Amino acid sequence: MTGAERPFIAVRIAVLTISDTRGFAEDRSGELLAGRIAAAGHILADRAIVRDEIELIREKVRDWIVSPDIDVVITTGGTGLTGRDVTPEAVKPLFEKEIDGFSVAFHMISFQKIGTSTVQSRATAGVANSTYIFCLPGSPGACRDAWDGILQDQLDYRHMPCNFVEIMPRLDEHLRRTGK
């Protein structure tokens, strides 16, 4: 079966903005992601904003990864190097598996736009409780690059030769194998 013959499968995506200063009215990155999610035909399952605090971030992501109504969590913000940037510290302990290639691909795309400044981002991704989690920088440009350059294709079941959607049913194999 070719990608063109496969049906589109909408996934349920939650967007979390991490910011001490932005509300929904100022959240350009969250709005950009919500718009791209809808334009791609996916479902915006939830959207929230929390302050740059490890426990607040972890609590919201943990709530979403246990929800049967959410397949993917995308965070924006808190991936830099300043003292308030704590998203990776909050989210990585939840990962069962890290998606190392996401960071590599993100930096390759980002390097083409901002050069060596890409090294200041700690964009990361992983899987937790059969849910994909992608942690993006807080700038609209970085969110655009991550969605347009990686997530748009990887969250589309029709994308060939492989994509994240086609392996979703198998993300919990380790739990089924051990009887948990």
**Within-domain flag for 151:** yes
Report residue 1's pLDDT band, with 50, 70 and 90 as the boundaries. low
**Within-domain flag for 110:** yes
The total number of structural domains in the chain stands at 1
Strand segments (E) across the chain: 12-18, 43-50, 72-76, 97-98, 124-128, 131-136
CB of 19 closer than 8 Å to CB of 77: yes
Two structure tokens written together for 13: 């995506």
pLDDT over 90 percentage in the chain:
91
**Within-domain flag for 33:** yes
Q: What is the DSSP letter of 148?
A: I
> Which phi and psi (to 5°) does residue 170 adopt?
-105, 5
Torsion of the alpha carbons at 80, 85, 89 and 92, rounded to the nearest 10: -50
Two structure tokens written together for 94: 């939840």
Residue 177 has pLDDT above 60, yes or no: no
Domain housing 43: 3-171
Report residue 2's pLDDT band, with 50, 70 and 90 as the boundaries. low
Provide the whole-model pTM: 0.94
**Within-domain flag for 71:** yes
Cα(176)–Cα(171) distance, integer angstroms? 10
**Within-domain flag for 177:** no
User: Beta partners for 44?
Assistant: 13
**Within-domain flag for 180:** no
**Within-domain flag for 178:** no
CATH of the domain at 21: 3.40.980.10
Two structure tokens written together for 116: 């060596």
Burial class (CB in 10 A: 0-12, 13-18, 19+), 63: middle
Cα(1)–Cα(91) distance, integer angstroms? 36
**Within-domain flag for 24:** yes
**Average of pLDDT values for 10-24?**
95
Q: What is the pLDDT of residues 86-136, one digit of tens each?
A: 999 999 999 999 999 999 999 999 999 999 999 999 999 999 999 999 999
Element (H, E) at 60: helix 54-65
